[in-house]
Amino acid sequence: MQVSMINLTQDLVASGGGQLHTSVAKKGKTSVYDFSRCKLCGEKAAAPKYKLKQMLLYACSNCDFHYIDALDDFPDEQPEESLLTEKVRNFIESKLPQNAIQLDKNLQFVKAHVALSGMHCLDIGSGAGLFPSLLKGARAVPHGIEPQEIFREFAMKKFHLSVRRELIDDSYWQNEYPGFFDVVTLWDTLEHVNFPAETLKAACRVIKPGGYLFLDTPSRDSFFYRASVWSYRFSQGRNPLLLNTLYSPKPYGHKQIFTTAQLWTLLESSGFSVVGRSAFHRSRNKLVVVCRKNTA
Ligand SMILES: [Zn+2]
């Protein structure tokens, strides 16, 4: 789920993309989840700490996890008509070259650890299908998950890739593919999902023992994040700098951002051993990580 692809849906809605309104997840479930229960450690120890634009940023007093009070709903039914108008298709096409640069670097990172030929690879949050198409080009067997119908349709038309709508914790994956995949990737996805701890545990179950998980996600240790928190406090909430753009209550927006230590701990408790950070990615604003599923 590459960032610009997700923003793309929001951009289209904002620019009057018409029937797209019916395809995006509504801000929902908010009323049924008790946000005082930390989404990372599970303790009932979180409280709203930062009041942002149309959202509250919670912080956990037990593990210091930061997340906003918004969750996505997923439509049960597929829309009857195609959402992929020519305008939308052109819009997605126009974003591909920029995404390709990033995803090609991600592919190099994966290749540095795994000989991909013949490997079953699952890309969770595959957006328009670009990364599965790169996997296919590397002679791997690509699989993909993408909740947004419009991107699945695009992936089929552009790359001839059948991407699934069922999320990773769905029985479709959990029952049919336990211990199946050699590689699972989560590019710019973990910050978007409703419950990242559950997502990683579900991802772990479908990976072979010794198989690989690769992911990237924004880093809370970045200068921008720390400066924004500092500015919020110093201005008593009047100037949150980038906090309003690092998070978003809109459908498929950023719901949580991890520190390095939090992500490491979560990966280790989800059944993985962290191998290390990417040598191909130099930005300090992102955590780009490879880990392996434990064998016992
Ligand atoms: Zn916590």
Q: What is the pLDDT of residues 86-113, one digit of tens each?
A: 999 999 999 999 999 999 999 999 999 9
In the sheet that 141-145 helps form, which strands lie side by side, from edge to edge? 141-145, 120-124, 181-187, 207-218, 286-293, 272-277
Q: Which residues contact 100 (CB under 8 A, 6 or more apart)?
A: 130
Instruction: Please say whether the dihedral angle defined by the alpha carbons of residues 96, 130, 264 and 196, taken in this order, is positive or negative.
Output: positive
Q: How far is the CA of 195 from the centre of ligand 1 (A)?
A: 13
Q: How far is the CA of 208 from the centre of ligand 1 (A)?
A: 29
Q: How far is the CA of 273 from the centre of ligand 1 (A)?
A: 21
pLDDT beyond 70 at 25: no
Distance CA 140, CA 214 (A): 15
Residue ranges near ligand 1 (ion) with Cβ within 5 Å: 38, 40-41, 60, 62-63, 65
Q: How far is the CA of 201 from the centre of ligand 1 (A)?
A: 17
Q: What is the pLDDT of residues 50-63, one digit of tens each?
A: 999 999 999 999 99
Q: How far is the CA of 276 from the centre of ligand 1 (A)?
A: 24
Q: In the chain, what are the domain boundaries? A: 3-24+79-293
Distance CA 150, CA 128 (A): 8
Query: Considering only CA atoms, which of 246, 257, 135 is closest in space to residue 190?
Result: 257
Distance CA 285, CA 220 (A): 8
Options 3.30.565.10, 3.40.50.150, 3.40.50.450, 3.40.50.300; CATH for 3-24+79-293 is 3.40.50.150
pTM to 2 decimal places: 0.90
Question: From the CB of residue 150, how many other CB atoms can be counted at a distance below 10 Å?
Answer: 25
Rg (CA), the chain: 19
